């Protein structure tokens, strides 16, 4: 997770002037005309085998005719954002979960934090490590 410096970098990129944004906030000036984002999913639930890497994606859709910019940060180190930045009306965010070192039955939970010029959003995720089974001609082993 990036922390405070990463958050300030996002503000800098989106507005061009962090000092001005902070000054406006301190003076009670807020931009209320942000709009909203549409997310292709509200929650991500995965079941993966131990010692594997799994990839997936979700889509962020902004308002038509308005450029949406921002960053996506994961709260869990095992869940990486392969494409953490986005810009445009619509963008696909790719992620990768690394289950190396995890045991069957373990679970990892966290959130994708979406920080954008259209507001902040969260997509919770849950990853369960499954028990690997082998299927033979006689059934599961």
The 3-class secondary structure across the chain, one letter per residue, is CCCHHHHHHHHHHHHCCHHHHHHHHHCCCCCCCCCCCEECCCCEEEEEECCCEEEEEEEEECCCCCCEEEEEEECCCCEEECCCEEEECEEEEEEEEECCCCCCCCEEEEEEEEEECCEEEEEEEEEEEECCCCEECCEEC
pTM of model > 0.75: no
Q: What is the pLDDT along the chain (141 residues), one digit of tens a residue?
A: 444 555 555 555 555 556 766 777 677 665 555 568 999 999 999 999 999 999 999 999 988 877 889 999 999 999 999 988 999 889 999 999 999 999 999 999 999 999 998 889 999 999 999 987 777 777 776
């Amino acid at each position: 997770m990036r922390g405070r410096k990463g958050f300030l970098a996002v503000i800098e990129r989106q507005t061009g002037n962090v000092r001005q944004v902070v000054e406006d906030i301190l003076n009670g000036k807020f931009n209320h005309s942000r709009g909203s984002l549409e997310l292709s999913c509200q929650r991500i639930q995965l079941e993966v085998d131990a010692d594997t890497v799994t990839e997936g994606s979700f889509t962020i859709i902004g308002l038509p005719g308005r450029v949406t910019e921002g960053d996506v940060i994961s709260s869990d180190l095992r869940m990486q954002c392969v494409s953490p930045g986005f810009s445009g009306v619509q963008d696909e965010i790719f992620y990768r979960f690394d289950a190396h070192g995890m045991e069957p039955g373990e679970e990892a939970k966290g959130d994708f934090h979406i920080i954008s010029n259209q507001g902040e959003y969260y997509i919770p995720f849950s990853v369960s490590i499954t028990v690997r089974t082998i299927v033979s001609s006689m059934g599961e082993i």
